[in-house]
Chain A
């Protein structure tokens, strides 16, 4: 019976000096590992503050007037630009129902901004462009490019955008002929939440500090943690080899 007790093993109750050293080494390394991974993410979570993009601040400044129909042309231009800054985000491709709301807002405000005499023409032009877009085999189609450039040339100045800017390039791709005349009540109730969702981000000093070109938190997680993992493994092997040789343990 006494002999049986000698053959009990527990990580937390080492029976030999070697086991005790091994346990301590494992505990130290696992602690470093856990704190480095989960501790940092918890710190990131604790320090984060919902931070709006400039476009959201602009949107919130003008939205009430736009909603009540009291917005000046300047406010409408600001509104259009802020909506366009969300429409240009590629993440929106995975949320077509939200994109529809924003397309409605953008198309409506552009239609509202152009001269009354040009409204019908604009709608016709966009309808033709949409048809052309569906029929082309390559994006290098000359007629398609010409139609696109024409719309940019007409609308970019209305929105006070540089014709070569990214936002200007988005105009023909985001305007919808069927959504121009009316900004639906339902979409009006949704837009504030959508703008807030896409233009508010969890930021802190850890995300805003640049290190080797990276946002610091990104560098830490994507690069440093992997270096740390390899280092921890190397340290463990090195120390355990030394412990084995000191204890006379063979590795056969």
Chain B
């Protein structure tokens, strides 16, 4: 491991010595950033090889030998995707206060996850989310359905990440988006296959450090350079927000400019910070619905739940959430800083409309930060996407090989065959996701938020009731899942038809109240309610399951 770190440091030093000073927002091949990106990717693969999986237990759950802080870092790294690193600043840059619904939604859900589920999930002692559902609801069909849902969630989530990887590779290498997606996908596939989750977990810890360092360094530079309180940029940017609201008069008469020579100032823009401002087209209801849906989705994402299986004890599972949330919050306190500076630095009409998903990198460029630091930032964005994608691929592969193949199709499969199936599933998923990502169907954050609502309507109710109410039975679970699935299908049908210009009955009404990013606000409560009603009307949960819940899960 030390050798790997030394190689990495030497590569990093070499990139600083060969610093390039030319910076353009798009188009050209960027030497320094490219070397940084390649160095980091080589490091990931080396770490993956060094900590490679030896058997199925390693592949699925990293041998259950990861410490609390380490697991917290892995949770954070696993969580901090391209949507957090790139998409969140994009949302705030475009919609102001509305974007904070995603900040709150993507962090507040961890409170629910911890106090309602983390310890109990670990105590239940299963490897995957479908494993838990199939066992708790004593149903092979439910296991298979939930495995398919888990794969769909992983695919939806991955598409957004692959889009982010493509965007950053395109920016750094100056290549075509499609080729960028192919290269990025190939590297993710290579090291996920080589390492499994053990390597992935170690990688995640390293990735977390890279993500945070690359994200925070530009903030110190920008707050210092533009004369704000730089010692804690996450507080210092408060004055930036206030200056945006007050406009030109608030800016000091200095020669501060962006890299195009535009004065560092902005016309008064209170719409940036005021709640559900009419100019943004976003409403109070949407803010609340998005926050609620993202929070429930957090507690229902299979790849997030699965992380609790890699800690040795239930107590460690709980504390790893605390650490994980703290590590995540560091990034979430920082993302709005990029949006605020980006707003001022790109305020001149001469800059034009920028691709929102790349605003983090553009902001650093417009702030005239050294190209290598911007390159490191882009590499951090790729790391964020990689760390999440690897976890998602493992979760999806586990759902396929363990829950569908081993538990349903071929119960006699040897561990070696299971591992082969997991790797085959990883390859298949990568190819499918890569194909969809090339179509550029939606923004990163949109695809990711969709995955959250899907998880909140399907997996979350099954876990919540499965853990806390022994009365929830197989028929109730199937009915609840059907209702959650129906709401999902309605929302997505209207969304997709709208994309292709097809107007369905009550189109405006449905797309507003059942928006594709927040349909879980109603879908999840309906699924829970249905589960309860049907469970009360049908035969009781078997004695063995109830006994297990009492004696093992809640003891």
Contact = CB atoms under 8 A, between A and B. Distances in A.
Contacts of A174: 349
Contacts of A229: 107-108, 110-111, 325, 329
A238 B323 CA distance: 13
B435 interface: no
Contacts of B543: 4, 7
B274 A207 contact: yes
Interface stretch (A63-71, A121-129, A214-222): A214-222
A249 interface: yes
Contact of A213 (B239, B260, B288, B468): B239
B314 A233 contact: no
A10 B469 contact: yes
Interface in A204-252: 207, 210-215, 217-219, 221-223, 225-227, 229-230, 232-234, 236-237, 240-241, 244, 249, 251-252
B468 A11 contact: yes
A163 B554 CA distance: 72
A232 B555 CA distance: 23
Contacts of A140: 261
A219 B114 CA distance: 25
B115 A30 contact: yes
A89 interface: yes
A227 B322 CA distance: 11
Chain B binding surface SS class: helix
Given A230-B329, A233-B110, A207 B271 contact: no
Interface residues of B, number: 84
Given A91-B271, A201-B277, A37 B291 contact: yes
A45 B284 contact: yes
Nearest to A99: B349
B248 A165 contact: yes
Nearest to B278: A197
Contacts of B348: 169, 173
Contacts of A187: none
A93 interface: yes
A244 to B, nearest CB: 8
B468 A166 contact: no
A218 B348 CA distance: 25
Contact of A7 (B116, B329, B350, B470): B470
Given A226-B107, A232-B111, A201 B270 contact: yes
Nearest to B544: A7
Given A218-B241, A233-B325, A41 B315 contact: no
A225 B114 contact: no
B326 interface: yes
Interface in A136-174: 139-140, 165-167, 169-170, 173-174
Contacts of B279: 89, 91, 197-198, 201
A29 B322 CA distance: 14
Contacts of A10: 468-471
Interface stretch (B228-236, B363-371, B398-406, B411-419): B228-236
Given A45-B275, A197-B278, A222-B336, 6 more contacts: A7-B549, A9-B550, A10-B469, A33-B111, A45-B276, A94-B353
Interface of B: 94, 97, 100, 103-104, 107-108, 110-112, 114-116, 119, 229, 234-239, 241-242, 245, 248, 260-263, 265-280, 284, 287-288, 291-292, 313-316, 318-319, 321-322, 325-326, 329, 332-333, 336, 343, 346-350, 352-353, 468-471, 543, 546-547, 549-551, 554-555
30 contacts: A4-B546, A7-B551, A10-B469, A10-B471, A26-B116, A33-B112, A38-B292, A41-B284, A55-B268, A89-B267, A89-B269, A90-B347, A93-B349, A167-B248, A167-B267, A169-B263, A201-B270, A201-B271, A202-B275, A202-B277, A207-B275, A213-B236, A213-B238, A221-B104, A225-B104, A226-B103, A226-B333, A232-B115, A233-B114, A237-B321
